[in-house]
Amino acid sequence: MKILIVEDDYVSRLLVNKAVTKMGHETLEAEDGRKAWELFQKQAPDMIISDWMMPEMDGLDLCRRIRSSNRTTYVYIILLTAKDRTKDLVSVFEAGADDYIVKPFQPEELRSRLKSGERILMLETRRHELMKKLFLKNKKLDVTLNRLKQTQAQAVQSEKMASIGQLAAGIAHEINNPIGFIGSNLDALSDYFKDFIGLLDQYQSLEEQLGSTPELPVEIRKLLATLRETEEEIELDYLKKDIGELLTDCIAGTRRVGKIVSDLKHFAHPGNDNPMLVSVNENIESTLNVVKNELKYKATLVKEFSDIPMVKAWPQKLNQVLMNLLVNAGQAIEEKGEIHIRTGVEGGRVKIDISDTGCGIEPENISKVFDPFFTTKDVGMGTGLGLNIAYNIIKEHDGEIGVESRIGEGTCFSIILPAAT
Kindly write down the DSSP assignment for every residue of 290-335, as one continuous string. HHHHHHTTTEEEEEE------EEE-HHHHHHHHHHHHHHHHHH-SS
Q: 164 with 89: CB under 8 angstroms? A: yes
What are the strands, taking DSSP E only, across 196-268?
none
Q: What is the rounded average pLDDT of the residues 85-110?
A: 82
Give the least confident one: 23-37, 134-148, 179-193, 325-339.
Answer: 134-148
Q: What is the pLDDT of residue 305?
A: 95
SS3 222: helix
Please give the Cα distance from 59 to 123 (Å, whole number): 25
The percent of the chain in helix, strand and coil, each rounded to the nearest 5, is 60, 15, 25
Buried b (16+ CB within 10 A) or exposed e, 286-317: bbbbbbeebbeebbeeeeeeeebbebbbbbbb
Burial class for 109, CB neighbours closer than 10 Å (0-12, 13-18, 19+): middle
- Is 271-418 assigned to CATH 3.30.565.10? yes
Please give the Cα distance from 288 to 294 (Å, whole number): 10
Please give the Cα distance from 391 to 344 (Å, whole number): 20
Q: 324 with 389: CB under 8 angstroms? A: yes
Strands 26-30 and 400-406: unpaired
The string of DSSP codes covering 107-133 is HHHHHHHHHHHHHHHHHHHHHHHHHHH
Burial class for 346, CB neighbours closer than 10 Å (0-12, 13-18, 19+): exposed
pLDDT digit string, tens, across residues 221-244: 888 888 888 888 888 888 888 888
Q: What is the rounded average pLDDT of the residues 265-293?
A: 77
Amino acid type, 71: R
pLDDT digit string, tens, across residues 244-276: 888 888 888 887 777 767 666 655 555 556 788
Domain ranges of the chain: 2-140, 176-266, 271-418
Give the least confident one: 100-104, 179-183, 190-194, 408-412.
Answer: 179-183
Q: 2-140 adopts what CATH topology?
A: Rossmann fold (3.40.50)
Please give the Cα distance from 237 to 310 (Å, whole number): 52
Q: What is the rounded average pLDDT of the residues 198-227?
A: 82
